[in-house]
Every structure is written in C-alpha cells, then in structure tokens.
Amino acid sequence: MQKIIIDTNVLVSALIQRSYPNFIVYYCVLENLVEVCTSDALVEEYLDVLNRPKFSKYPDFLNKAEFVLAQIESKAINFLPKERFEIIIDKNDNRLLELASEANADFIITGNTNDFTMSYFKGTRIVSPKEYWDNFRIL
C-alpha cells in the first residue's frame, strides 16, 4: 500500500472545491486505498489552518473539515520524526520532509510549487495533486 503525506494546502483545497485534492482525499484516503502518514506537528497544522475564520465563508467547511480530520486521524499512521531538516525556506514545510524521511513515504502531495521545487526527497516523490491522480493513484 502506498504511503502518502498530504500537505495542508491540499487538504484545504479538498474541502473547498471538487478537483484533484478532493478526489484524493475522498477516494484514496477515505476508501483506505493508501496509508496516510502524519506527525503530531502536521496534525496540529491541519487543525490550526482548517479552523481559520477565512474558511467560514465556504458552505459547511468546518463540518466537512471535522469529518475529514477525524477520518484521517483514525486511519493515519502517526510518526515522530527524529531527524530535523532546514532545506525549505518556509521552515514549517520542512516538517513534511522530516515526516517523509521517518515514514519512508512514497509521496508528498502538495500544491506548494514555490517551496517544494524538488521532485524527490530521500526516495519520496513530491507531486502535485493532479500529477498524483493522473499518474500514481491506486485504482
């Protein structure tokens, strides 16, 4: 089973619009076709970002966010990264690399092409939601 890490921006997009992030979260994750890898720091970031007032303008955002987060937390494998990296300028994004290294993840799925300029990190492939859906998802 593929091990994936979902960047927070992908999770937000999945809750706002019906597109590749939504397909990944609702089809791959909630249908147990992949193993989602998390860390305490990433789950904390999910909670912080998804509870921002700016998302309240989207219909039923908070209810959907609570449902998806509960599902992810119940299905995910939680890791405690031991190694620290300072590779990405946005220091918070380094936690995804740390998690990928600890979990030996297959993919980091992110919409953040400004900070994630590399396509691989220690054997983990870094892909956009569209690239993952079109080329790597499990059918």
Q: Each residue of 3-49: pLDDT tens digit?
A: 999 999 999 999 999 999 999 999 999 899 999 999 999 999 999 99
Structure confidence at residue 138 (pLDDT): 78
Give per-residue pLDDT as tens, 87-103.
Answer: 998 888 999 999 999 99
Q: What is the mean pLDDT of the chain?
A: 95
Give the Cα separation of 99 and 66 in Å (integer).
23
At residue 92, what are phi and psi to the nearest 5 degrees? -65, -30
pLDDT at res. 137: 85
Q: What is the pTM of this model?
A: 0.95
> Do 20 and 130 contact (CB within 8 A), yes or no?
yes
pLDDT band at 119 (very low <50, low <70, confident <90, very high): very high
pLDDT of residue 9: 97
CA distance 105 to 38: 10
Hey, what domains does the chain have and what are their CATH numbers?
3-135 (3.40.50.1010)
Distance CA 39, CA 76 (A): 9
pLDDT value, residue 139? 67
Q: Is the dihedral of CA 131, 42, 1, 87 positive or negative?
A: positive
Q: What's the confidence (pLDDT) of residue 113?
A: 87
The pLDDT assigned to 91 comes to 86
What is the pLDDT at residue 49?
96
> To which residue do tokens 């860390």 refer?
39
